[in-house]
Each structure stands twice: as C-alpha cells, then as structure tokens.
Amino acid sequence: MVDGVTKDVFVYLRRVDGHAAWVNQRVIELAKITNATPDPEGGKIIRDMAGNPTGVFVDNAIDLIEEVMPQPSEEERTEAIRKAVEECVKVGLTEMHDMGVDLQELDIYKKLISQKQFPFRVYAAIGGAGKTWDRYLQRGPEIGTNEGRLMVRALKLYADGALGSRGAALIEPYSDDPANRGLTLTSSDQMKSAATQALEKGFQVCVHAIGDRGNNIALNVYAEVLKSNPAKAKDARFRIEHAQVLEPNDIGRFHQLGVIPSMQPTHCTSDMYWAEERLGSKRVQGAYAWRTLLNTGSIIPAGSDVPVESPNPLWGFYAAITRQDHKGWPEGGWHPDQRMTREEALRAFTLWAAYASFEENTRGTIEEGKVADFTILSDDIMKIEPKKILDASVEMTIIGGDIVYTAAMFAHLAKEKSPIAGH
C-alpha cells in the first residue's frame, strides 16, 4: 500500500507497459473493491493473505479502477500529442504505428492535420471492440486521405499480458512463479470474430502476444480466419505485436501463414537481466528469437513500443546488432546467435516497417517515386563501432520534403518556424 504518505489524495500509478496499476486505499474504496470482488476475466487483483486487495491490479482488473477515474480532456490529449510528435521528430522518426486509437484521438489528429500543425505520419490501429471499431466497420479503412498524414487501417487486440508483470500467457508455469501461467485477455472466439470482421472489411489485425501460449493462440486464430477467406487472405499482413516468447514449433508458422512478427529490439536488452529467471534456461531459447525467425523467411518490422521504451530508433538499432546494454553488457551480447546484421536492423526500422503498414511502395527507402521522408544522422551507423551508435545524433528530420527538425536551428526557431509551433 502507498497509504502511509497518501491517505488524503487519490493515487493511481500505472506500470510503464500499461499492464499493471498500483493505487491507494482511497481509490479502492471509491471503486468499491473488496475481498468479495472477483477477479475479472483476463485480470488479477493482487491480494494479501486475508484476500483483501493490496492495491495492485493486473491487466483487465485495471478496468475496475479506470471506471471511476476522470478522463483527460481533449485539450490535455491534444497537448500530449503535440509534445509526443516533437519528441519523435527530434529522434529522427517520420512515422509512428499507433496501437490503440479511439475516436477522440483520431479527431485530434485530423484537426491538427487540417490546421497544418502535424508534421508527422501515423498508421493507426483501432483499440479493440467498441464505439470506434463499430464506426469504422461501417465506413471502412481510411487510406489516401488526411493529406497522407494519417492512415486508419488496422485493429489492435490483446491475447495476453506482459512478461514483467507475469501476465504473459505461458504454456508451462513461470519458472519463478510455479502456480502461475499468466493471463489470456481475449478469448479465442472473441479474437476470431473480430479478426474475421476485420479481414472482410479490409483491415489489418495486430494482436499483442508476448508469452508462448499467447502467441500460439493468436497464430491458431489467424490460421483459421485466413483459411476461411482465401481471397482476402492473400495480402492481409496480419501482425503479432511483440512475438516475444515462442514455442519452437510456432516459429516457422509466421512465414507459413504470412503473419508478420512486429518486434522491439530494446525489449530484449531491457528484459535480459531477469528473463531467464522467469522463463528458465530452455524456454528462454525461444525468446527474442530474431535470427531464428529471420532464418525461416520472416521479416521483422522493428519499433520501440514507446512509452515502454525510448522512441530513439538508434537505441533499437544498437540493441538489434549487439544484444547488449549501453554499458556493453554482457560481453559479446546476450544469446548473440540471435543478433541481426546491420543491414537487417536498418531494414527493420525502415523498409520492413513500411511493409508492415502497406507502404513499401511509397516509403521505407530513398528512391525516385517515393515520398521524401528521411533522416540525416551525424555518423554512418553502418560503419562506426557499435558503442558509438549511441552517441550519434539526428542532424535533420525531413517529412514529405519539409524540414521538420534540425539540431542546429530547432532550439531557436521552433516556436517561430516549426510546424509544431503554437503549443
């Protein structure tokens, strides 16, 4: 409990990956949660020996708290988006795959675009079933609109929770928690129904799956849905977000089914300190298995999962080719046989990411006929020593031919000249 220092205020602390929350007694009382409150499906209330809630809520149990929480205003969300875009262009990003949008967020994007205040691109995935998904099922995907700044073409679903909070669904129990196999957040039937709708209406499906059981469930659903509609399945490009821990027999299924493993290299280097303790020495061989996946013919679009990790793609590039932390630990890399080459890592953050959003013909490489989205770095990351990649900086970010960030000028001219100015 945090009540010792927070008795008179409401306290809500969210784990950085969003899969757990910590609250004080005032919030528990406001939400009317007691020892008689059952764990919701796909969620867990952490309790003391007497069965009373301790204040920690995992995955779908967080909904019990959020039902009584005030929501951020449109103004607050707009300011958050402005600041996020500013940080993204500073680190050289030209587009973000936004996993889990709603109608209000989409309206904010469109308003900023119409006001010429959005020097960025967003590939948006609707955050599961609900009002937003119902609206887009009626209207279909948004492609080729919004001045090329916003594409709404995907649906985000959740198979399981996170490894850090022990909510990732595992086939066998956690090595450091033998009574726990994690949580499944969406039933196979619910996932199948939503994926079937999405495929029929021309939407990509992106399922969050971290544990080997979560990934197996998602792959099984995808196999069934894709088989049921061969015509639509030809270029569906269904994705699994994270694909973090894989059962060996499932690794080759990604390429066989045409499913894209969308992964985050810095998850590996953040988790490597404790991943083996949680998974065991055998099961960890299928974790963050980039080389094994690549060898089957899969591509791996890379991202950051910001705000879980830093949005800086140079940190991700470094992690992909070294599997080391910023101090160079461990020597030689953690499970170094799974490293990417520099060319693979570069493709992962550029062309393969563009393919994952159906944009490989317009973005992802610098060539005639494609939009002028590119980044100029201070150093050649394809040649310098790996450790020096972390010291490289972004000199310029260009989107659609417009300079949206320069290291030399931004601090002095941002408010006057920058397309992000005005906040």
pLDDT digits (tens, 9 = 90+) for 113-150: 999 999 999 999 999 999 999 999 999 999 999 999 99
Q: How far is CA 199 from CA 204, 231, 388, in A?
A: 7, 10, 44
Question: Is the same domain home to 96 and 55?
Answer: no
CATH number at residue 107: 3.20.20.140
Boundary-marking domain end, from 367, 383, 410: 367
Question: Is the same domain home to 198 and 325?
Answer: yes
Q: What is the DSSP track for 189-210?
A: HHHHHHHHHHHHHT-EEEEEE-
Question: Is the same domain home to 112 and 184?
Answer: yes
Counted residue by residue, the chain has a size of 423
Identify the band that residue 75 occupies on the pLDDT scale cut at 50, 70 and 90. Answer: very high
Ranges 3-7, 144-148, 178-182, 384-388: which has the least confidence: 3-7
Is 404 within the bounds of a domain?
A: no
Q: Which secondary-structure segment (H or E) carries 121?
A: strand 121-127
26 Cβ contact list (under 8 Å, min separation 6)? 6, 7, 8, 9, 10, 11
Question: Is the same domain home to 175 and 38?
Answer: no
Question: Is the same domain home to 168 and 275?
Answer: yes
Boundary-marking domain end, from 341, 367, 393: 367
Amino acid sitting at position 200: E
Amino acid sitting at position 396: M
The total domain count for the chain is 2
Boundary-marking domain end, from 327, 345, 367: 367
Is 28 within the bounds of a domain?
A: yes
Q: Is the dihedral of CA 361, 102, 264, 199 positive or negative?
A: negative
Q: Walk across the sheet containing 402-406 and list its strands.
A: 374-377, 394-399, 402-406
Identify the band that residue 423 occupies on the pLDDT scale cut at 50, 70 and 90. Answer: very low
254 Cβ contact list (under 8 Å, min separation 6)? 219, 240, 243, 260, 261, 293, 296, 298
Residue 410's pLDDT is 58
> What is the extent of the structural domain holding 61?
3-66
Question: Is the same domain home to 171 and 35?
Answer: no
CA distance 283 to 294: 19
pLDDT digits (tens, 9 = 90+) for 238-256: 999 999 999 999 999 999 9
What radius of gyration, in Å, describes the C-alpha atoms of the chain?
A: 22
Mark out the alpha helices in 245-296 (DSSP H runs): 248-251, 253-257, 265-271, 275-279, 290-295
Point out which residues pair with 155 in neighbouring strands: 126, 205
Question: Is the same domain home to 38 and 98?
Answer: no
Question: Is the same domain home to 52 and 80?
Answer: no
Is 23 within the bounds of a domain?
A: yes
Is 198 within the bounds of a domain?
A: yes
Question: Is the same domain home to 83 and 142?
Answer: yes
pLDDT digits (tens, 9 = 90+) for 378-397: 999 999 999 999 999 999 99
Question: Is the same domain home to 293 and 194?
Answer: yes
Is 227 within the bounds of a domain?
A: yes
Is 140 within the bounds of a domain?
A: yes
Overall pTM > 0.85 = yes
Helix then strand then coil, % of the chain, to nearest 5: 40, 20, 45
Question: Is the same domain home to 60 and 184?
Answer: no
Identify the band that residue 341 occupies on the pLDDT scale cut at 50, 70 and 90. Answer: very high
Question: Is the same domain home to 49 and 119?
Answer: no
Is 422 within the bounds of a domain?
A: no
Residue 409's pLDDT is 63
**Strands 402-406 and 394-399: what pairing?**
antiparallel
Is 402 within the bounds of a domain?
A: no
pLDDT digits (tens, 9 = 90+) for 302-324: 999 999 999 999 999 999 999 99
